Structure 1
């Protein structure tokens, strides 16, 4: 779960996180009828506990002793993003909220220039533009009559969620935070779990005891999309190429929709196939730009 690698390997680690996040929607659906905050708290508890076991086995528990700024960044990023995202889904139509939330890949690419000093060329911007177009095409297909006028707070929270995750990701590689060991993510996950469970106790009705299927989904969520993915993403953002990862992140909603269509009883549409082609094309452009910059 803890990865040590150079820039190329770190970028691959970030890509592995994106692959795991593609399974988030499918596993969350399989975890129903657990309410969102309870599901978030349980999944973070699984991921944080597994991470803590690995950190303890490596004799690295001291990595959890970090400054308040580091804890604010880590817990604020993980818990803050999910709180804003789930609140947006509760207050606005889910497809529109998800579309606004997925401004975070574009923001990662754009913020990498002023915050990290990484150059942005026309090929890279064209790549992220194709990826964004693919995500918009895919997600907008489920919108009912466009953005409604009755959920401005939900839309604002969705945008805030996207900005929160982009800032969390890009700031992880700044001089103040780049030296924070990835092992500290285990502590952030456990703190986020506590906040999620507290939120469930305060704001959600008590949940009925689910069957074996939802519990298996929770374990898989905590092992992958709400567990190992955060450790891999931390490595990718700190030592990899955030511009390329931001572009490739548009593959997440496409892959997630394809998985739901394949295993969740849906169907593949021409819009899904076109969105896939756009995201793949954008990824190729971004990867080519990376090689040119390296040369």
Structure 2
């Protein structure tokens, strides 16, 4: 993100450390959402996005929100991007409510593969065989988790969670694609974008979820941590890491997110140890690495 860097921020170790920080914070999302189950998904998303907007505000450049954009670009940036963020965060929270967190997390974190497929198709107009094979491996990892549900033909609620996790993955991939449009400078506009996304999600929450009692202080703290960490600091750190000329190497760290997310869930007792989880995580990571070659 575009915050004022000191001279030390240009050292290579800083960019690598920033990428690791972002990856660890993103891997905590399923666990934090599971711990804040007192709040309905959309209300949780609205509050987390609000915390992220407030947390990133001190690190953004002070300039007029629409500066440097045409009217069409402004509409895409300040309407389309917040809708993608709201869809990604809201669908993610709902997915962890309806489906087992470990399984939904692995489906969600196939988004780097979706981003790779989309960006390569837009750039070259074709998809190499290695990319298709890697994507197939990654998606087979997600399919391994869903297969038992398909064979038994039950668990409609879990199926809804799986579908929402896939929607969140698609939204994150499209958001990441928008981040590659350098003229939009999404990094320095992040507080405004997160705030708009928070308002959109909050309105949807009032319409669909109604009003609820004030949650406990513990739940509010978890929600603030979710917003300040994965939806605030992590996005700033990742943008800083992607500023490296060798960003494609640092970017491979994103493929470890599903493994870490699964590990955190198992260690916290939220997910039950199952042979399918590590195998699926291995398929997702291997496929992602192969597709990104």
Q: Distance in 2 between matches of 1:108 and 1:243?
A: 13
Q: Structure 1 residues 203, 181: CA separation in 2 closer, same or farther (over 3 Å shift)?
A: closer
Q: Which residue matches 1:51? A: 56
Q: Distance in 1 between matches of 2:279 and 2:162?
A: 26
Q: Which residue matches 2:25? A: 20
Q: Distance in 1 between matches of 2:189 and 2:156?
A: 41
Q: Which residue matches 1:292? A: none
Q: Which residue matches 2:63? A: 62
Q: Distance in 1 between matches of 2:131 and 2:267?
A: 31
- Segments of 5+ residues of structure 2 without an aligned counterpart are 68-73
Once the two structures are overlaid, the 10-residue window that deviates more, 108-117 or 94-103, is 94-103
Cα RMSD for the two superposed structures: 4.1
Q: Structure 1 residues 47, 146: CA separation in 2 closer, same or farther (over 3 Å shift)?
A: farther
Q: Which residue matches 2:223? A: 218
Q: Give the alignment of 1:192-211 within 5 angstroms.
A: 192-211=197-216
Q: Which residue matches 2:70? A: none
Q: Distance in 2 between matches of 1:10 and 1:129?
A: 31
Shift of 1:107: 1.4
Q: Which residue matches 2:84? A: 77
Q: Structure 1 residues 238, 75: CA separation in 2 closer, same or farther (over 3 Å shift)?
A: farther
Shift of 1:198: 1.9
Q: Which residue matches 2:181? A: 174
Secondary structure in 2 matching 1:43 = helix
Shift of 1:121: 5.3
Q: Which residue matches 1:278? A: 283
Relative to the length of structure 1, the TM-score reads 0.73
- How many residue pairs get matched? 279
Q: Which residue matches 2:43? A: 38
Q: Structure 1 residues 192, 260: CA separation in 2 closer, same or farther (over 3 Å shift)?
A: same
Shift of 1:250: 5.0
Q: Per-residue displacement from partner, 1:199-245 (whole Å, max 9, x unpaired)?
A: 22222132222223212211210111122233344556787789778
Shift of 1:63: 6.0
Query: Contact 1:26–1:264 at 8 Å: present in 2 too?
Result: no
Relative to the length of structure 2, the TM-score reads 0.73
